[in-house]
Amino acid sequence: SQQGEEDPQALSIQEGENATMNCSYKTSINNLQWYRQNSGRGLVHLILIRSNEREKHSGRLRVTLDTSKKSSSLLITASRAADTASYFCATVVNYQLIWGAGTKLIIKP
Protein backbone atom coordinates (compact mmCIF):
# COMPACT_ATOMS: atom_id res chain seq x y z
CA SER A 1 0.00 0.00 0.00
CA GLN A 2 1.15 3.54 -0.59
CA GLN A 3 1.46 5.90 2.31
CA GLY A 4 2.45 9.15 0.72
CA GLU A 5 0.57 11.46 -1.55
CA GLU A 6 2.34 14.05 -3.62
CA ASP A 7 0.72 17.25 -4.64
CA PRO A 8 0.39 18.40 -7.35
CA GLN A 9 0.29 15.31 -9.56
CA ALA A 10 1.78 17.35 -12.39
CA LEU A 11 3.53 20.71 -12.55
CA SER A 12 4.69 22.65 -15.60
CA ILE A 13 6.77 25.81 -15.15
CA GLN A 14 9.19 28.00 -17.09
CA GLU A 15 12.91 27.49 -16.76
CA GLY A 16 14.29 29.69 -14.03
CA GLU A 17 11.15 29.59 -11.90
CA ASN A 18 10.95 27.79 -8.58
CA ALA A 19 9.08 24.50 -8.28
CA THR A 20 7.39 23.39 -5.09
CA MET A 21 6.06 19.89 -4.50
CA ASN A 22 4.29 18.66 -1.40
CA CYS A 23 4.00 15.27 0.20
CA SER A 24 1.65 14.04 2.89
CA TYR A 25 1.90 10.76 4.75
CA LYS A 26 -0.10 8.79 7.25
CA THR A 27 1.99 7.10 9.93
CA SER A 28 4.93 7.94 12.16
CA ILE A 29 8.24 7.86 10.34
CA ASN A 30 11.94 7.44 10.96
CA ASN A 31 12.82 9.77 8.15
CA LEU A 32 11.54 11.02 4.80
CA GLN A 33 13.43 10.92 1.54
CA TRP A 34 12.91 12.56 -1.83
CA TYR A 35 13.87 10.82 -5.06
CA ARG A 36 13.88 11.77 -8.72
CA GLN A 37 13.04 9.43 -11.57
CA ASN A 38 13.61 9.97 -15.26
CA SER A 39 11.65 8.11 -17.92
CA GLY A 40 10.12 5.55 -15.55
CA ARG A 41 13.46 4.11 -14.51
CA GLY A 42 16.52 4.98 -12.44
CA LEU A 43 15.40 6.39 -9.08
CA VAL A 44 18.01 8.83 -7.81
CA HIS A 45 18.19 9.77 -4.15
CA LEU A 46 18.04 13.55 -3.65
CA ILE A 47 17.81 14.29 0.04
CA LEU A 48 16.95 12.71 3.37
CA ILE A 49 15.39 14.57 6.28
CA ARG A 50 15.13 12.95 9.69
CA SER A 51 12.03 13.07 11.82
CA ASN A 52 13.71 15.46 14.27
CA GLU A 53 14.74 17.90 11.54
CA ARG A 54 12.54 20.67 10.18
CA GLU A 55 14.48 21.90 7.16
CA LYS A 56 17.37 20.76 5.04
CA HIS A 57 19.22 22.20 2.06
CA SER A 58 21.24 20.61 -0.71
CA GLY A 59 22.34 22.85 -3.57
CA ARG A 60 19.17 24.15 -5.25
CA LEU A 61 16.99 21.85 -3.16
CA ARG A 62 15.22 22.79 0.04
CA VAL A 63 13.16 20.27 1.97
CA THR A 64 10.92 20.95 4.93
CA LEU A 65 9.26 18.48 7.25
CA ASP A 66 6.30 19.10 9.55
CA THR A 67 5.69 15.97 11.58
CA SER A 68 2.67 17.47 13.32
CA LYS A 69 0.95 17.84 9.95
CA LYS A 70 2.61 14.73 8.51
CA SER A 71 3.76 16.68 5.49
CA SER A 72 6.92 17.62 3.64
CA SER A 73 7.74 19.95 0.79
CA LEU A 74 10.48 19.96 -1.83
CA LEU A 75 11.51 23.28 -3.35
CA ILE A 76 13.71 23.40 -6.42
CA THR A 77 15.01 26.90 -7.01
CA ALA A 78 16.06 28.36 -10.37
CA SER A 79 14.73 25.34 -12.26
CA ARG A 80 16.51 23.98 -15.32
CA ALA A 81 15.28 21.90 -18.24
CA ALA A 82 17.30 19.00 -16.84
CA ASP A 83 15.09 19.03 -13.72
CA THR A 84 12.25 17.60 -15.81
CA ALA A 85 11.42 14.29 -14.12
CA SER A 86 9.04 12.66 -11.67
CA TYR A 87 9.68 13.39 -8.01
CA PHE A 88 8.70 11.01 -5.24
CA CYS A 89 8.68 11.24 -1.51
CA ALA A 90 9.29 8.08 0.45
CA THR A 91 8.80 7.62 4.14
CA VAL A 92 10.79 5.14 6.14
CA VAL A 93 8.77 2.82 8.30
CA ASN A 94 11.04 0.22 9.87
CA TYR A 95 13.20 -0.83 6.92
CA GLN A 96 10.65 -0.21 4.20
CA LEU A 97 10.45 2.79 1.93
CA ILE A 98 6.78 3.63 1.47
CA TRP A 99 6.18 5.74 -1.61
CA GLY A 100 3.69 8.22 -2.95
CA ALA A 101 2.54 8.34 -6.56
CA GLY A 102 4.89 11.19 -7.46
CA THR A 103 4.76 14.64 -9.01
CA LYS A 104 5.58 14.90 -12.70
CA LEU A 105 7.58 18.10 -13.19
CA ILE A 106 8.06 19.62 -16.63
CA ILE A 107 10.42 22.54 -17.07
CA LYS A 108 9.75 24.49 -20.24
CA PRO A 109 12.85 26.05 -21.83
Q: Which residues bind another protein (CB under 8 A)?
A: 2, 4, 30-31, 33, 35, 40-45, 48, 50, 88, 90, 92, 94-102
Rank residues 90 and 107 by Cβ distance to another protein and give the closer one. 90
Rank residues 3 and 79 by Cβ distance to another protein and give the closer one. 3
Please tell me the total number of residues recorded for the chain in this structure. 109
Rank residues 35 and 72 by Cβ distance to another protein and give the closer one. 35
Dihedral of CA 5/89/98/55: which sign? negative
HEC-encoded secondary structure of 39-78: CCEEEEEEEEEECCCCEEEECCEEEEEECCCCEEEEEECC
The minimum distance between CB 97 and another protein, in angstroms, equals 6
The minimum distance between CB 50 and another protein, in angstroms, equals 8
Rank residues 11 and 97 by Cβ distance to another protein and give the closer one. 97
The minimum distance between CB 42 and another protein, in angstroms, equals 5
Alpha-carbon distance values, 63 to 31, 36, 72, 91 (Å): 12, 14, 7, 14
